[in-house]
Amino acid sequence: MSNFNNPFSLAKILIVIFMSMAFSNFAQNIQEARKIIDKLCSKEFSGRGYSNNGDKNAALFLTDKLKKSKLKPFESGYTQEFNISVNTFPGEMKLALNDSILIPGYDYILDGASSSIKGAFPVIIMDKNLVDYPENLKKISKEQMQQSFLLIDTTNIKNKGFKDAVSDIINGNLFGAKGIIEIEYKKLMYSPSPIEQSFPRIKIMSDAIPENLKLISLTVNNQFYSNYTTRNIAAFVPGDIDSFIVFTCHYDHLGEMGKGVYFPGANDNASGVAMVLDLANYYQKNQKKLKYSMAFLFFSAEEMGLLGSRYYTSYPLFPLSKIKFLVNLDMVGSGDKGIKVVNGTQFKTEFDKLVELNKIKNYLVDVSIRGPAANSDHFPFYDKGVKSFFIYTQGEYSEYHSIFDKAKGLPLVEYEDLYRLLVDFVGSFN
C-alpha cells in the first residue's frame, strides 16, 4: 500500500520537500560565495596586495561583477583612485640558519618595513647570558655588532633597563646591526607597512631556530613605492528616496612574501566581499521594493591603516549626511559562536533591533555588543558622525594575517543566516 494516502506521511514528505528547497537556495548562495572567495584567494590576485598588480586585478574583478549585476556607478564611475606609500616583497626570498633552509610564511616572516639584503652574517644572541652579564656584553665590539644579526631573546632576563628598552632596540635597531631576529612562540602574523626601514627585521618560529645558531644566510628583495595608485570600488541601487543604507567591506589583503608565497585572506576579507556582492545582487533584483537607495563600497588599503575608507570620507561620492545607516562587514567567514557588533553601545536602538530580529528568526546563537573601535572601515564614517556598525563573526576559525587563511578551510557555517539577518535589518528601517 502506498504511503501517499497517509496524511501524516504526506505531511512528512511536504516537510522534506520544503527543507530540500530551502537547502537548495542555501547551497546556491554558499556556492556563489565560495566561488568568489576561491577566486580572490587564488594566485592570480597575489594576496590582493601592491605587487604583481594584486590589488588592481582584484579591483577589475569586482568592477566586472558590479557591471554584470547592472548596479549603477556614481558620477565618477565605479572606481575612486588615491595614492599610498607601501613597502612590498615581490622578489626572490631565501633564508637559512646555519645549514637549515627555512620557508617564508611557515618558519619565518618579515616585518613589513624591512629592506633588501643579501649575504651570510654571524648571529649574536642577546639573551640572559649576555644581557645580565655586562662583562660578556663588553667583549663584543661595535664593529662586531654592525656586521651581525642580533637575535633578541628576552626569556628570563633580569636586566630591567634592557627589558624597558627592548622595543626600541628591535624597532630602531639601536645597536646598528645588519638586521634583527625575533623569536615567535605562537603564530606568525604579518602586517604591511607604509615605510621602509634601513634594515631587515625577521620573526622566526622558535622550533625553526637551531640550538647552536651561528650564521644566517639570506636574500631579501623589497620594493618600496612612495606614490602607489590604488582604488576604491563603488556602486549603488536607487530607491524611492536618495538617502542611503550602505554596505562596506575591504577587498585588499597583505600581498606577497617573496615569489610564490602569498597571503590568501579568505576570512580577512574575501568573506566580507562575497557577502557585500551577494547583498548587492539581492537589492538589484528587488529594486522596485526599495525605499532607501543602497550603496556598496569596497575599500582598498584597509590593511595599511584604513586608508581607503579615510580617503572616501574625505572625498565622498555622495554626501555623508545622506547615509541613513552603514554596515561594515569584515571577517564574516565563521559564525558558529555568533557575531560581534562594534558600535552597538553607541547605536543601541539599532543594536536592539538587530537582536530582536535575530531572536524572532533564530538565525545566530549570539549577537553580542561591543563599543567603538578604530579597527575597520566603519571607523572613518563613525568619526564623521555617520551611524554605523562593524560586524564580524565569532567561532573556532582563528587564522589571521597568515598564509593559512585559505579559502579551502573557511567554514562559512553561518553565512546564510547572517545574510538573512542583514536583509531583515535593512527592511526594518522606516
| pLDDT top residue among 203 and 25 | 203
Tell me the three cell numbers of residue 161.
Answer: 633597563
What torsion, rounded to 10 degrees, do the Cα atoms 377, 380, 386, 389 define? 30
Rounded CA-CA distance 290/72 in Å is 15
pLDDT at 23 over 50: no
Nearest to 133 by CA among 109, 151, 159, 113: 159
Q: What is the pLDDT of residue 165?
A: 86
- Phi/psi of residue 312, nearest 5 degrees: -60, -45
Query: Do 227 and 85 contact (CB within 8 A), yes or no?
Result: yes
CATH number of the domain where residue 245 is located: 3.40.630.10
Residue 20 has a CB neighbour count (10 Å cut-off) of 9
User: What separation in angstroms does the CA of 310 have from each of 327, 349, 382?
Assistant: 16, 26, 11
Least confident range of 5-14, 132-141, 162-171, 327-336: 5-14
Residues 299-305: what's their mean pLDDT?
Answer: 98
Higher-confidence position of 18 and 274: 274
Which of 220, 253, 274 corresponds to the end of one domain? 220
113-122, 130-139, 225-234: which has the minimum mean pLDDT? Answer: 130-139
pLDDT tens, position by position, 156-199: 888 888 888 888 999 999 999 999 999 999 999 999 999 999 99
Q: Cα–chain-centroid distance for residue 304?
A: 10
For residue 403, the number of C-alpha atoms closer than 13 Å in the C-beta half-sphere is: 17
pLDDT of residue 121: 98
In a domain, 101, yes or no: yes
Residue with cell 592570480: 44
Q: Is the pLDDT of residue 15 over 50?
A: no
Domain end residue (candidates: 157, 191, 220): 220
213 and 76 in a common domain: no
Q: Do 39 and 57 lie in a common domain?
A: yes
Same domain, 253 and 351: yes
- Mean pLDDT (whole number) for 69-75: 96
DSSP designation for 192: B
Q: Phi, psi (5° rounding) for residue 409?
A: -95, 0
The parent domain of residue 291 ranges over 32-88+226-427
Please indicate, yes or no, whether residues 113 and 246 belong to a single structural domain of this protein: no
In sequence order, which residues have a C-beta less than 8 Å from that of residue 378 and are 6 or more positions away?
248, 309, 326, 327, 328, 342, 343, 388, 389, 390
On whether both 176 and 285 belong to a single domain, the answer is no
**137 falls in which pLDDT band (50, 70, 90)?**
confident
- Percent of the chain clearing pLDDT 90 (strictly above): 84
In-domain check, residue 128: yes
390-403 burial code (b ≥16 CB/10 A, e <16): bbbbbbebebebbb
Residue 209 forms part of a structural domain: yes
385-426 pLDDT tens trace: 999 999 999 999 999 999 999 999 999 999 999 999 999 999
User: Model confidence at 430, in pLDDT bands (50, 70, 90)?
Assistant: confident
Query: Which three cell numbers, joined as nine digits, stand for 325?
Result: 545607516
DSSP letter string, 76-87: TBSEEEEEEEEE
Residue 21's pLDDT band (cuts 50, 70, 90): very low
Average per-residue pLDDT in the chain? 92
Q: Please check whether residue 10 lies inside any domain of the structure.
A: no
Q: Are residues 175 and 206 in the same domain?
A: yes
pLDDT above 70 as % of the chain = 93
pLDDT of residue 355: 98
Both 110 and 201 in one domain: the answer is yes
What is the chain's length? 430
Q: Using 50, 70 and 90 to split pLDDT, how confident is the model at 205? A: very high
| Residue 2's pLDDT band (cuts 50, 70, 90) | very low
CATH code, domain with 182: 3.50.30.30
Return the exposure string of 32-61: e unless at least 16 CB atoms fall within 10 Å of the residue's CB, then b: ebbebbbbbbeeebbbbbbbbebbbbbbeb
One domain for residues 65 and 122 = no
Residue 24, pLDDT above cutoff 50: no
Buried b (16+ CB within 10 A) or exposed e, 286-304: eeeebebbbbbbbbbbbbb
Assign 118 a pLDDT band (cuts: 50, 70, 90): very high
pLDDT for 3 equals 44
Backbone angles phi, psi at 16, to 5 degrees: -60, -40
Return the minimum-mean-pLDDT range out of 23-37, 251-265, 273-287. 23-37
73 and 144 share a domain?
Answer: no
Q: Is residue 23 part of a domain?
A: no
Q: Is residue 306 part of a domain?
A: yes
Whether residues 164 and 269 share a domain: the answer is: no
How far, in Å, CA of 422 to CA of 430, rounded? 15
pLDDT of residue 78: 98
**117-126: strand order across its sheet:** 100-101, 93-97, 215-220, 117-126, 149-152, 179-184, 201-205, 108-110
> Domain boundary at 170, 186, 220, which?
220
Give the model's confidence band at 28: pLDDT under 50 very low, under 70 low, under 90 confident, else very high.
low
Same domain, 231 and 320: yes
Its pTM stands at 0.91
Amino acid in the structure at residue 156? N
What pLDDT, on a 0 to 100 scale, did the predictor assign at position 157? Answer: 85
User: Does residue 9 lie in a domain region?
Assistant: no
Number of domains into which the chain is organized:
2
> Same structural domain for residues 290 and 163?
no
Residue 192 in any domain: the answer is: yes
Instruction: Note the pLDDT tens digit of each residue in 341-393.
Output: 999 999 999 999 999 999 999 999 999 999 999 999 999 999 999 999 999 99
